[in-house]
Chain A
Amino acid sequence: MNAISLRNVDIAYGDTRVVEDLSLDVAEGECFGLVGESGSGKSTVLRAVTGLAPDWTGEISLFGQPRGKAIDRKFAALCQMVFQDPYGSLHPRQTVDAALSEPLAIHGLGGADTRVPEMMAACGLDPRFRFRLPHQLSGGQRQRVAIARALMLKPKILLLDEPTSALDVSVQAEILNLLKRLRREQKLTYILVTHDLPVVSFLCDRLAVMRQGRVVEVAPVEALRHNAMTHPYARELVEKSANRVSA
């Protein structure tokens, strides 16, 4: 079954349509990479799937169930998002402890006392950070809090928007390994937005390349590894990334 399915989706902010006629299927347990031009609508697609960009037409369904336009608690437990700007998704007056316990409380679940430290450890966060506020953490530490928070409800689908771009490569490696392990153990489904094509190569099965609100190519990740993408813009991205890495 498809975990995520989008059919002919258009998304707008006011009068500006930013995503046009987008169709995508992501199978259960699959990791799907979404890459492309800055400003092309990648974050907007994730926001529509989570219910945060309500102005869309077309069809969006999760595990075969069509979703409505608003935020829906049933979907929240199923599908969580890690935002591109961790600052924006964490409440400035909420400690790490509160940010991680809150999803459990909202859904009437207990066990915060043990689950919060466990999750912090899994995401490489020092226990000393538990009662700190977001501004008392570095950029990468905040990003790990955002990832930990999204995992608290054990969702089936994780939408990851540049989850490791603020992390040094060694911490990135730990998070990527964690995401890979969770996916294997819990059959999680991911959509991963990133500008880092080697990260897609490590974690994803397929990828879509977006430009100006449209998907220009969908390909298996092997096409990325062997420079076999076909659309000129997709080829440009792959070649420019490859040049940087090899030089």
Chain B
Amino acid sequence: MTAPLLEVANLRVRFPTPTGTVEVVRGVSFTLGRERLGIVGESGSGKSLTGRSILRLIRKPGEVTADRLRFEGIDLLSASEWQMRGIRGARISMVMQDPKFSLNPVMTVGEQIGEALAVHEHLPRRQIRSRVLEMLEAVQIRDPQRVFGLYPHELSGGMGQRVMIAMMLIPEPSILIADEPTSALDVSVQGEVLRLMNDLITRKGMGLIFISHDLHLVSQFCDRILVMYRGRIVEECAAGELDRATHPYTRGLIASVPRMDETRAELPVLDRSQWEQA
């Protein structure tokens, strides 16, 4: 077996609050190979912070510790800020949950994607432009010429997600962390965008961490799923076997998903107190 791309062991994230320190990621461990790893779970359970910790993007006064946080042989916890700058974007990139607010507000879409490409390859200006336009087309942007010149606040929600995906995929990173990357896309466009991610996985051996609330999507698109609850991984399963999950939290989640032919007057909600004492 080849070594994993990423190893995470006992990852913890803490924040000081007026009433004492709270630990919001509480001992998360997993490895990522050249695969599609889905992370689902409770809102506020620490999914985004886990992703951000890998890139060392937790702002002070937040505190991150881990027994191990290794990427292709590099210890990410002790890497210098200079080393991290070479890794972020180029080798590990992250599609943020609020793409329109993570993009640079004073740079056009075309300039930003072009800059991401320039990190990866040295190309003449004209060629950069045509590669960026190609990428916008690949993420199903209608009218790429117009969108090339728009600023982030002029994009629709789903266009912002696609621009961010284009920007993160164009340098062909080894790992892509995608935080709710397709929640604002209609199913047709979503299918095309997932195909594009998949292409990098099969062609370049990219590893993908796919954070999502969409259980159907994750169980079809990913290979393996982690379920998080209150800062911990409570269950892990092969993606196709999500419907056989056993943890009461996971079972509860599955029951709350509305169906296309929905006729229930009310959706079942979770009684979280059942297993919380544990």
Seen from chain A, the residues whose Cβ lies within 8 Å of a Cβ on chain B are 13, 16, 35-39, 43-44, 84-85, 87-88, 128, 136-141, 161-162, 165-174, 176-177, 180, 195-199, 201-202, 212, 224-226, 236-238, 240-242, 244-245, 247
Contact B267 A202 (CB under 8 A): yes
Nearest CB on B from A219, distance (A): 14
Cβ-based interface call for B116 (8 A): no
Nearest CB on B from A84, distance (A): 4
Question: B101 is contacted by which of A16, A88, A140, A166 (Cβ under 8 Å)?
Answer: A88
Evaluate whether A139 and B180 lie within 8 angstroms (CB atoms) in the complex, with A88-B101, A241-B187 already known.
yes
Cβ-based interface call for B158 (8 A): yes
Question: A84 is contacted by which of B41, B180, B184, B215 (Cβ under 8 Å)?
Answer: B184
Evaluate whether A162 and B183 lie within 8 angstroms (CB atoms) in the complex, with A38-B162, A167-B43, A169-B213 already known.
yes
Mark interface residues in B253-268 (1 if CB within 8 Å of A CB, else 0).
1001111111111111
Name which residue of chain B comes closest to A165, CB basis.
Answer: B183
7 A-B pairs (CB sep. < 8 Å): A37-B186, A38-B140, A44-B156, A141-B43, A201-B261, A202-B264, A237-B188
Q: Residues of B contacting A247 with CB < 8 Å?
A: 220
Interface of A is mostly: helix
- We find that the number of chain B residues with CB closer than 8 angstroms to chain A is 56
Q: How far, in whole Å, are A247 and B19 apart by their CA atoms in the complex?
A: 47
Q: Residues of A contacting B100 with CB < 8 Å?
A: 85, 87-88
Contact B159 A38 (CB under 8 A): yes
Q: How far, in whole Å, are A224 and B185 apart by their CA atoms in the complex?
A: 19
Q: How far, in whole Å, are A23 and B217 apart by their CA atoms in the complex?
A: 34
Contact B260 A38 (CB under 8 A): no
Contact B267 A35 (CB under 8 A): no
Nearest CB on A from B164, distance (A): 13
Cβ-based interface call for B98 (8 A): yes
Seen from chain B, the residues whose Cβ lies within 8 Å of a Cβ on chain A are 15, 19, 40-45, 48, 97-98, 100-101, 140-142, 146, 154, 156-160, 162, 180, 183-191, 213, 215-217, 220, 252-253, 256-270
Interface of B is mostly: loop
Question: A177 is contacted by which of B19, B40, B267 (Cβ under 8 Å)?
Answer: B267
Contact A199 B258 (CB under 8 A): yes
Q: How far, in whole Å, are A242 and B259 apart by their CA atoms in the complex?
A: 9
Q: How far, in whole Å, are A84 and B101 apart by their CA atoms in the complex?
A: 12
Question: A198 is contacted by which of B15, B220, B260 (Cβ under 8 Å)?
Answer: B260
Evaluate whether A39 and B159 lie within 8 angstroms (CB atoms) in the complex, with A173-B267, A212-B142, A237-B187 already known.
yes
Contact A170 B156 (CB under 8 A): no
Question: B258 is contacted by which of A16, A137, A168, A201 (Cβ under 8 Å)?
Answer: A201
Evaluate whether A87 and B253 lie within 8 angstroms (CB atoms) in the complex, with A167-B213, A201-B262, A236-B188 already known.
no
Q: How far, in whole Å, are A166 and B42 apart by their CA atoms in the complex?
A: 11
Q: Residues of B contacting A245 with CB < 8 Å?
A: 216, 259-260
Nearest CB on A from B204, distance (A): 26
Q: Residues of A contacting B253 with CB < 8 Å?
A: 168-170
Name which residue of chain B comes closest to A16, CB basis.
Answer: B146
Q: Residues of B contacting A128 with CB < 8 Å?
A: 19
Q: How far, in whole Å, are A32 and B153 apart by their CA atoms in the complex?
A: 27
Question: A38 is contacted by which of B44, B184, B213, B215 (Cβ under 8 Å)?
Answer: B184
Q: How far, in whole Å, are A202 and B263 apart by their CA atoms in the complex?
A: 7
Q: How far, in whole Å, are A196 and B262 apart by their CA atoms in the complex?
A: 12
Evaluate whether A195 and B269 lie within 8 angstroms (CB atoms) in the complex, with A13-B154, A38-B162, A43-B156 already known.
no
Nearest CB on A from B210, distance (A): 15
Contact B158 A38 (CB under 8 A): yes
Q: Residues of A contacting B268 with CB < 8 Å?
A: 173
Question: B260 is contacted by which of A136, A137, A138, A241 (Cβ under 8 Å)?
Answer: A241
Question: A35 is contacted by which of B154, B186, B191, B215 (Cβ under 8 Å)?
Answer: B186
Evaluate whether A173 and B256 lie within 8 angstroms (CB atoms) in the complex, with A38-B189, A138-B48, A202-B264 already known.
yes
Q: Which 5 A-B pairs have the closest CB atoms?
A: A140-B43, A38-B158, A173-B267, A173-B256, A198-B258
